[in-house]
Amino acid sequence: MTEHSADRPEGTPPEDITAEGTSHGGRQDNGRGAAQETPVPRAPGRGTPHDDGAQVSTGSDTAGTPGAPETAIPELVIISGMSGAGRSTAAKCLEDLGWFVVDNLPPALIPTMVELGARSQGNVARIAVVVDVRGRRFFDNLRESLADLEARHVTRRIVFLESSDEALVRRFESVRRPHPLQGDGRIVDGIAAERELLRELRGDADLVIDTSSLNVHELRAKMDAQFAGEEEPELRATVMSFGFKYGLPVDADLVVDMRFLPNPHWVPELRPFTGLNEEVAAYVFNQPGAKEFLDRYAELLRLVAAGYRREGKRYVTIAVGCTGGKHRSVAMSEKLAARLAAEGVETVVVHRDMGRE
């Protein structure tokens, strides 16, 4: 993924090992404005709730008054390394695995971020922080922050992204941007200065990944191997009903057409209702081919989902269309989302055009 433009000052190139850019710090909304969303029930998340107002402490300490439950100190990963070596891709991978990711946080604020995570009642159990030369005026504070974390018995790991000079030069030249430390010199001068600045941190790293010959998928696979544990990387799906007369969804990965089924719009007693109505849904699924379509398409999605996971794709939008996006597509979207949720896919239903008529 690219370095985020909101955090990137002039002169800093995007990472070479790229995927589509996104903001860190947990999942964001899908940006579909007024579209109606129906969350599909899912298994409870990780982490055990704890009382608010707790201080960061060791596992044997308690927060506040005697008898208060122990606070959960978040697990911490610090991502650093050479500019252009893939820091943003590594951060995005951890975000997809459920980590709370903060990009370009000044090192002096890392202990504060851990403390806030400990006060989150278990909602922020794992924090990843990207530290790089964009915050070079704060970089001298990193050693002090690491010592502070060690004194607090915070479990932390340092991931360092490395790459050869030749690969980094090629990446910077491909995006036609200067190295953030080259000043009036050449790209190789900036790379040399950064290596010297990061030398001590590289020596302290728990994991060093050389990305010289890696593409984005290979880097993600290495991160998954280190941090996913035995769990299979999670796939998140958005099932979106829509009306063809309002246009195709621009963000759809897969599109299916329900107009092969009879339209409840032409049944006077069903016309005022939507596909969320039980009678409308029953009418749709009593039509020839409806149940067969649901069964076979759900089976196809099972195959596709497995391939997406292997290729490192974590998000998929499935658009289900009918004429107006009110009856057939809504009913099918609800059933399809329920099938995906039963397969362990985190699923959200969005009815884009319901209510527009």
Known binding-site positions for GTP: 132-135
Measured over the CA atoms of residue 124, residue 126, residue 129 and residue 130, the dihedral's sign is negative
The two most distant CA atoms of the chain are separated, in Å, by 76
In the chain, alpha helices (H): 87-96, 110-118, 142-151, 165-175, 187-204, 216-227, 278-285, 290-310, 328-342
Angle, in degrees to the nearest 10, between helices 278-285 and 328-342? 90
Strands of the sheet containing 207-210, edge to edge, are 100-103, 126-130, 75-81, 156-162, 207-210
Pick out the residues of the known binding site for ATP. 81-88
DSSP state of 277: S
CB 251 within 8 A of CB 292: no
Task: Quote the distance between the C-alpha of residue 333 and its chain's center.
Answer: 23
**CA nearest 163: which of 208, 125, 121?**
208
Strands of the sheet containing 36-39, edge to edge, are 36-39, 346-351, 236-243, 315-322, 254-257
Pick out the residues of the known binding site. 81-88, 132-135
CB atoms inside a 10 Å sphere around CB 75: 17
Beta bridge partners, 240, equal: 319, 350
CB 100 within 8 A of CB 127: yes
